[in-house]
Structure 1
Amino acid sequence: MDLTKLSTETRNSKSMLLDTMSVAEILKLMNSEDQTVPQAINKQLPQVEAAVNKIIQQFKKNGRLIYLGAGTSGRLGVLDAAECVPTFGTDPSMVQGLIAGGQSAMTVAVEGAEDSLSLAEEDLKKLKLNANDAVVGLAASGRTPYVIGALKYAHQVGAVTVSIACNQNAEISKYVDYPIEVVTGPEVLTGSTRLKAGTAQKLILNMISTTSMIKLGKAYQNLMIDVKPTNDKLVERSKRIIMQATDCDYQTAEKNFIAADEDVKVAIIMTLTGVDKTEAIKNLQKNNGFVRKAMKED
């Protein structure tokens, strides 16, 4: 293992005296370095676009999106997967996150888990990975054995494969259909890839899941209309979304929200077209959940 060739492991010339800097100087430096991340991602947008288009196709075949990584990378995948459920009303199986060492590795590092080439294959077999699925392997270094093992197995079963690395000519890029290499460079704290590299991965995961869900009909205008009202805050947010989408008052939004069995999409169509819940649901189903298309039925 030669880490000297990885830009994420090299020393940052701007932070060589990091331990002598004031708090203000450290914060300013970190903020300055973080601003380079979107610029690095911008160079890879065509690769991200290609991957997202393919992931959308997999979803339309009832496939799943599986994020997979070790350490920070794995945690970021688990986080993005978990957020899809309340934000987009997805079934928990639709977007999933796997981390080397299992769920306990979310808080405590599991010795040697990321160095196993076979562990990820076992994890994917438990999920019954198939050719309709998409697997996104995350590794800041671009060489994590757990991720490589996963991508090799995913390729064997015919699943779509994507990699997100933060080094150029990453090892994991060799095993995927859609390699994404965002070169974020040396970290302020040498080798601490939870910093710029982690930020880059988080931003790309935001792009992948959000864009995919929008293209599956889970947004109207710029509103998240498949939000699940699982607590008081989300109940009120749901009513506000109905108001914003239809320009109705609070009382109308609340009435139609209740009449729609707390389904925001259905309530929006009821409010805008005047149809009842049954007709609104039928129109949505005919149009694969897209609100704009469903409204043209009337």
Structure 2
Amino acid sequence: MTAVGDGNETIDPHAGLSTEQADPRYREIDRLPTEQIARLMNDADATVPGAVAAAIPEISAAVDAIVGRMERGGRLFYVGAGTSGRLAVLDASECPPTFGTDPELVQGIIAGGEAALTRSIEGAEDDAGGGAAAVADREVGPLDSLVGVSASGRAPFVLGALAEAGRRGALTVSLSCNAGSPLSTAAGHPIEVIVGPEVVAGSTRLKAGTAQKLVLNMISTIAMIRLGRTYGNAMIEVSAANAKLANRAARMVGDITGAGLDTARAMLEAAGWNVKAAVLMIERGLGADEAAALLRANGGRLDAARRAGVRRGLGA
């Protein structure tokens, strides 16, 4: 953006952002020994959780609003560019294996598309029309929620996506690391995590990226807890796609029911590795189809299904 003062003056709209400032404490890091640089970075990173804690009321309100729409069939979209986009896609991509969700339920959108996940396509963040088109392509609607992620709070791609989502009636949330940004102004639920200058000036993959990851962790994890996709703190919707996850599933079934691991594994195999169904099969002596029907009748929630009906069979 160029503004004219005396006819020649160029104004940088990013110059005043806290994430763009050069912290004098780090001006000579290129002359320091490795261990000292590592300690400086560790000290800087230690300030991030406090910055996130200050935003917990806003994070909580946004999560509750997102869950309200997801309970009615809505989807959750994250949109970002550069580091923010990669973190957005990362969080979305981890929901299916962790919580057993359909890949369409939580989606990450990055400026520049899939190629931007492995190499920098920084110019893509300036394409506001591209952000709007990405939202339109996914037919975002009134039951959906969109979280725009941008450290500066000014990325045109993200602003374009947020504006289009709002026009379509979707819930809009912003996540930025500067106060009073355009993204905050545009969102129905603005979240600002103010982390200040980076160790390497302007490198928002550092503290800002860490803050964004922590908040995205909260949004997806709490949403899935509220949607009943955990039991206590057990990852009961886990996809047993490898030996480690299969063993974890068997341990969960054993922990919940008190059954031995051999019994737990046998019931999991019979239930198609559905942890909740295996629990009901053991506790109520049900077949796999009966357990699945009981879960459906109770909204897929294990706690409700365990309380329902008459206990029979194993453990009766």
Q: TM-score range by the shorter chain?
A: over 0.9
State the match for 1:282 in structure 2: 293
Asked if 1:154 corresponds to 2:165, the answer is: yes
Q: CA deviation digits over 1:78-105, x for unaligned, max 9?
A: 0000000100111111000000010001
Q: For structure 2, list consecutive stretches of 5 or more residues without a partner in the other structure.
A: 1-11, 310-316
TM-aligned CA deviation for residue 12 of structure 1: 1.6
Q: Please, which moves more after superposition, 168-177 or 229-238?
A: 229-238
Secondary structure class of the residue paired with 1:169: coil
State the match for 2:136 in structure 1: 125
State the match for 1:178 in structure 2: 189
Structure-2 separation of matches of 1:273 and 1:194 = 50
Structure-2 separation of matches of 1:11 and 1:273 = 63
Contact 1:221–1:245 (8 Å) recurs in 2: no
Q: CA deviation digits over 1:181-239, x for unaligned, max 9?
A: 00000001111100000000000000000110111111112110001111222222211
State the match for 2:121 in structure 1: 110
Structure-1 separation of matches of 2:171 and 2:183 = 14
Asked if 1:238 corresponds to 2:215, the answer is: no
Contact 2:81–2:110 (8 Å) recurs in 1: yes
Contact 1:223–1:245 (8 Å) recurs in 2: no
Q: How does 1:44-63 map to 2 (within 5 A)?
A: 44-63=55-74
TM-aligned CA deviation for residue 176 of structure 1: 0.8
TM-aligned CA deviation for residue 62 of structure 1: 1.0
Q: Which of 97, 100, 103 is residue 108 of structure 2 equivalent to?
A: 97
- Give the alignment's TM-score, normalised by structure 1: 0.97
Secondary structure class of the residue paired with 1:56: helix
State the match for 1:24 in structure 2: 35
- Give the alignment's TM-score, normalised by structure 2: 0.92
TM-aligned CA deviation for residue 255 of structure 1: 1.3
Q: Which has the larger radius of gyration?
A: 2
State the match for 2:224 in structure 1: 213
Q: For structure 1, list consecutive stretches of 5 or more residues without a partner in the other structure.
A: none
Amino acid aligned to 2:214: L
Asked if 1:248 corresponds to 2:259, the answer is: yes
Q: Please, which moves more after superposition, 54-63 or 274-283?
A: 274-283
Q: CA deviation digits over 1:247-281, x for unaligned, max 9?
A: 22111101111121211111112223333322321
Amino acid aligned to 1:114: E
Amino acid aligned to 2:30: D
Over 3 Å counting, the alpha-carbon distance change for 1:111 and 1:166 in structure 2 is closer
Q: CA deviation digits over 1:118-172, x for unaligned, max 9?
A: 0011111111111111000000001000011011101100000000000111110
* CA root-mean-square deviation: 1.1
The total of aligned residue pairs comes to: 298
Runs of 4+ residues deviating >3 angstroms: none
Asked if 1:136 corresponds to 2:133, the answer is: no
Structure-1 separation of matches of 2:256 and 2:179 = 44
Q: Please, which moves more after superposition, 230-239 or 30-39?
A: 230-239
Amino acid aligned to 1:169: G
